[in-house]
Amino acid sequence: MELNIKKNESSNFIFILGITYLDHAGSALFPESLLKAFTDDLRNNVYGNPHSQNIISKLTYDTIEHVRYRILQHFHTTSEDYTIIFTSGCTTALKLVAEAFPWIPEGTKQPSSRFCYLTDSHTSVVGIRGITASMNVLSVPIKPKEILLSEKNRLSAEEQNCTTPHLFSYPAQSNFSGTKYPLSWIQDIKSGHLCPIKIPGKWFVLLDAASYVSSSPLDLGVHQADFIPISFYKIFGFPTGLGALLVNNRIAPLLKKTYFGGGTAAAYLAGEDFYFPRKSIAERFEDGTVSFLDIIALKHGFDVLEKLTGGMEKIKQHTFALARYTYNVLCTLKYANGAPVVRIYSDTDFSNPDVQGPIINFNILDENGEVIGFSQVDKMASLYNIHVRTGCFCNTGACQMHLGISNEDIQRNLQAGHVCGDDIDLVDGRPTGSVRISFGYMSSFEDAQTFLKFIIATRLSKSDTKIPFQSSVTMLTTESVPDDHPSFSSADKLSPIPHISDRELWNNSSMTMTSGSWQPPKAEAESIRAAVCETAIPTCRRGGKPITVTNIYLYPIKSCSAFEVTEWPVGNQGLLYDRNWMIVNENGVCITQKQEPRLCLINPSIDLKKKIMVIQAEGMDPVSVSLEENTGKEAVICESKVCSHRVKTYDCGERIAGWFSMFLARPCRLIRQSSDMKNMSHQKNTKGMLSFLTIFVIPQLEEPLETEELIRRFRANIVISAPESFEEEEWAEISIGALRLQVVGPCSRCQIICINQQSGERNKEFMQSLSVARGRKTNFGIYLMNQPLHSSLPDILSVGSQVLPVLKENMEIQPPTSSEEKCSG
């Protein structure tokens, strides 16, 4: 399906050069022409609060009403049948239904209500049961296969005459797999042809359309659900934080409301319990002033969408064609031994756009059929500038169903430290989630091809002879950069889908489908496994070669170059001045090497005698920053989020901001963490944290890396000589002089290890090699937490100090919490 896009509209999509965005189910990208039309509107008109009666406020009110009609028109219905209630998003719309539905609780003379929902539902739908439980209304989960058998639950004529209201919710399209559930269920359930459960009463239908309407037309003139919640950013990308609940006017009079906010009352008394609501359903339920400028932006969203694409039916065909092509190619990918490269989680064969949306959910497998964790896949994809979604996608029910995760597994995973949204992708070798790619109306064939080439390059490229390096050097570091998400814009494009065969894709690719890029030589793999799979471990390490500190590094500015010393103070927060400063963008968000690799070219050094930090970079005059905190009135105090903790910081001033902005060629500022930790007294894990790791044998594609280069890449705090690789994985705690450090958990490496710390260039294969050597994981080292003594004086860490480890009885190291795991830069 080819979309009708004029050539002069090619600049109407915003992309950063080289980015392949494949998370359209998460959010659409907005076209530049939408922003231009909206800002032109704001320049040419003045909009006031629609609750006022002046001329500009009347213009606002009339424009909002026009947008309501435009939304109804988009869904092929009118104000005679439906009312638009603006909300902050789909989730708020669902909550509104839960609070306003006329539930009949247990324990009354009437039969009680039931809330039934498809298990393949978003968290925000399942969460309705929290409200129903408080109202003493039972909730009943229904599996997709069970609804097809519900014809057996047909009610007698007498039972259908019962007026007890029940609510059934299901998604028009699964946000997990893209499965489209029949819209015919709406009428079948309302008419009694299908009954989720056998109970007297009248069924109403809540159709979760948030995922569906982003790429498919919805005709409410035909499929008249009672409630339809949507989020507009899923369709347009902008504005965010705006949604709507479309309410069937036949059910609207039955809805109940307790709270009344500004604009919802026709009259009320402050001194007595008297309130009379407005007649309009929309005004009755829209508490306070609606987000009127965002609503006005929707008008331009609909205009631009129609102009660029020709309508939702064309978007449906376009996005499905991309998904079907990608699905078919993925299904053909095999290893040399015939094993599949991916396991796709789908209920369809991608042959019909009426039953399958533009979403592909999968896990990547190794040659033995074992799942490669989604976190590892996400990290590798980001090295190729491909943006995907991973985890369970706020749909635990579908995740359990497709991945075979039991209720007991979910509870065990929670006990093992895994929570929704973290990057713990495997527990006991079993996946906790998967990878999802999704296409939108601005997606192109090149996007699909780029993704497929990425899979081929990382799983099926030629096996090169790799020159290993060996070392028994061990490092302590704080490096494990947070999984932040780079912002994106784009070079506007919407390419038609050419007819290209799978054979042409392979011919166009420089990779051939032979196995081995992630597979180390057998002898090497065995030696690595032997190094980590010791069984009998004594309580303390006895005998053997002594372990000593050989190098000490600190990183005064997060994600910038290292500063090497021979001895250094260690306080409650770790090495003195280590990662005390960080560079932030104009929005106050921390910038790391993942977004800006040139940070590694900035060289800070600390002069304790002069009490200054000197910052240098090629082509720039050196600049200095005082080590003494600026507590004067001119200091700009703010709060920043570092390692999932809020910390008090202050800005280092315009002069320093100008230096960094000039070098990085983007607006940015330098901020410093305040030593006043009182605001963090309620937070856990605020002590200094170090991570400990060992250099091991990593296959190289070209020349072997020198030990110094490896230390730079892994951004160590302390380098230690050790007789055995991975020896630190046996340790429960260590002592270095007066220092006592407790093991917290394994250190999961991120994409920064792929950046050459002297040039800023990326090497994609580096992380692949680490994954192979560590058995499909990117764990390398362990976190340590400083256990300071009561003395107010800092301890001194020196090169040459002996390291005394205490071994643990249980070989398995539990991963740190997500906040600990992300403390780095």
The pLDDT confidence band at residue 758, using thresholds 50, 70 and 90, is confident
Contact 453, 460 (CB under 8 A): no
Q: Return the structure tokens found at 572.
A: 């409650």
Note whether 585 and 711 are same-domain residues.
no
Lowest mean pLDDT among 322-336, 394-408, 710-724: 710-724
Report the pLDDT value the prediction gives residue 791, as an integer from 0 to 100: 59
Report the pLDDT value the prediction gives residue 674, as an integer from 0 to 100: 79
Residue 115 carries which DSSP code?
E
Residue predicted with more confidence, 575 or 73: 73
> Could you read off the pLDDT of 308-320 as tens digits, one per residue?
999 999 999 999 9
Note whether 584 and 639 are same-domain residues.
yes
Note whether 234 and 328 are same-domain residues.
no
Lowest mean pLDDT among 155-159, 500-504, 559-563, 805-809: 500-504
Note whether 172 and 321 are same-domain residues.
no
pTM exceeds 0.85 for this model: no
Matching residue, tokens 């014809």: 151
> Could you read off the pLDDT of 401-435 as tens digits, one per residue?
999 999 999 999 999 889 998 888 999 989 999 99
CATH number at residue 256: 3.40.640.10
- Average pLDDT score over residue span 510-527: 32
Q: Return the structure tokens found at 345.
A: 């989680």
User: Strands 114-118, 138-142: parallel, antiparallel or unpaired by DSSP?
Assistant: parallel
Closest CA to 478 of 559, 565, 418: 559
- Average pLDDT score over residue span 322-328: 97
pLDDT at 62 over 80: yes
Q: Mark which of 424, 459, 494 sits at the end of a domain.
A: 459
Note whether 141 and 184 are same-domain residues.
yes
Report the pLDDT value the prediction gives residue 14, as an integer from 0 to 100: 43
* Residues contacting 491, CB < 8 A, separation 6+: 11, 13, 15, 16, 17
Report the pLDDT value the prediction gives residue 633, as an integer from 0 to 100: 41
**Any alpha helices (H) in 84-230, and if so which ranges?**
90-100, 123-126, 128-134, 144-148, 157-160, 184-191
* Percentage of the chain lying above the pLDDT 70 cut: 76
Element (H, E) at 68: helix 55-74
The pLDDT confidence band at residue 400, using thresholds 50, 70 and 90, is very high
Task: State the Cα angle at 778 between 776 and 781, rounded to 5°.
Answer: 130
pLDDT at 764 over 90: no
Note whether 659 and 760 are same-domain residues.
no
Give the span between the Cα atoms of 459 and 330, in whole angstroms: 12
Residue 517, domain member (yes or no)? no
Closest CA to 103 of 131, 125, 126, 124: 131
Report the pLDDT value the prediction gives residue 478, as an integer from 0 to 100: 34
Beta bridge partners of 719: 475, 551
pLDDT at 133 over 70: yes
Report the pLDDT value the prediction gives residue 482, as an integer from 0 to 100: 35
The pLDDT confidence band at residue 685, using thresholds 50, 70 and 90, is very low
The pLDDT confidence band at residue 755, using thresholds 50, 70 and 90, is confident
- Average pLDDT score over residue span 344-352: 97
Contact 623, 655 (CB under 8 A): yes
Residue 699, domain member (yes or no)? yes
Report the pLDDT value the prediction gives residue 303, as an integer from 0 to 100: 95
Note whether 243 and 133 are same-domain residues.
yes
Note whether 246 and 155 are same-domain residues.
yes
Closest CA to 768 of 399, 383, 499: 383
The pLDDT confidence band at residue 818, using thresholds 50, 70 and 90, is very low
Residue 62, domain member (yes or no)? no
Q: Mark which of 614, 644, 673 sits at the end of a domain.
A: 673
> Could you read off the pLDDT of 365-378 as tens digits, one per residue?
999 999 999 999 99
Element (H, E) at 400: helix 396-403
Report the pLDDT value the prediction gives residue 466, as an integer from 0 to 100: 33
Residue 481, domain member (yes or no)? no
Report the pLDDT value the prediction gives residue 645, as an integer from 0 to 100: 56
- Average pLDDT score over residue span 436-452: 96
Write the DSSP string, 435-486: EEEE--TT--HHHHHHHHHHHHHHHSS-----------EEEEE---------
- Average pLDDT score over residue span 512-521: 30
Lowest mean pLDDT among 104-118, 268-282, 396-410, 449-463: 449-463
* Percentage of the chain lying above the pLDDT 90 cut: 56
Note whether 262 and 401 are same-domain residues.
no
Lowest mean pLDDT among 184-198, 280-294, 622-636: 622-636
Report the pLDDT value the prediction gives residue 371, as an integer from 0 to 100: 95
- The letter for the amino acid at 482 is P
Report the pLDDT value the prediction gives residue 531, as an integer from 0 to 100: 32
Catalytic residues: 394
Give the span between the Cα atoms of 26 and 315, in whole angstroms: 17
Q: Return the structure tokens found at 323.
A: 């998904």
Report the pLDDT value the prediction gives residue 391, as an integer from 0 to 100: 96
71 burial type by CB count under 10 A (0-12 exposed, 13-18 middle, 19+ buried): buried
Report the pLDDT value the prediction gives residue 513, as an integer from 0 to 100: 28
Report the pLDDT value the prediction gives residue 144, as an integer from 0 to 100: 92
Report the pLDDT value the prediction gives residue 528, as an integer from 0 to 100: 28
Report the pLDDT value the prediction gives residue 754, as an integer from 0 to 100: 81
Report the pLDDT value the prediction gives residue 721, as an integer from 0 to 100: 79
Note whether 706 and 657 are same-domain residues.
no
Lowest mean pLDDT among 90-94, 410-414, 782-786: 782-786
Report the pLDDT value the prediction gives residue 723, as an integer from 0 to 100: 75
- Average pLDDT score over residue span 31-51: 95
> Could you read off the pLDDT of 281-300 as tens digits, one per residue?
999 999 999 999 999 999 99
pLDDT at 820 over 50: no
CATH number at residue 329: 3.90.1150.10
Residue 710, domain member (yes or no)? yes
pLDDT at 362 over 70: yes
pLDDT at 647 over 80: no
Residue range(s) defining the domain that contains residue 663:
580-673
Give the span between the Cα atoms of 563 and 576, in whole angstroms: 12
Domain total in the chain:
4
Report the pLDDT value the prediction gives residue 640, as an integer from 0 to 100: 53
Residue 33, domain member (yes or no)? no
Note whether 233 and 357 are same-domain residues.
no
Note whether 274 and 132 are same-domain residues.
yes
Residue predicted with more confidence, 719 or 564: 564
- The letter for the amino acid at 168 is F
Report the pLDDT value the prediction gives residue 787, as an integer from 0 to 100: 76
- Average pLDDT score over residue span 508-532: 32
The pLDDT confidence band at residue 759, using thresholds 50, 70 and 90, is confident
The pLDDT confidence band at residue 542, using thresholds 50, 70 and 90, is low
> What rounded mean pLDDT belongs to the chain?
81
Report the pLDDT value the prediction gives residue 425, as an integer from 0 to 100: 92
> Could you read off the pLDDT of 216-252 as tens digits, one per residue?
999 999 999 999 999 999 999 999 999 999 999 999 9
Residue predicted with more confidence, 350 or 592: 350
Q: Mark which of 398, 431, 459 sits at the end of a domain.
A: 459
Mind spelling out the 3-state secondary structure of 653-716? CHHHHHHHHHHHCCCEEEEEECCCCHHHCCCCCCCCEEEEEECCCCCCCCCCCCHHHHHHHHCC
Residue 86, domain member (yes or no)? yes
Element (H, E) at 779: strand 779-786
Residue 16, domain member (yes or no)? no
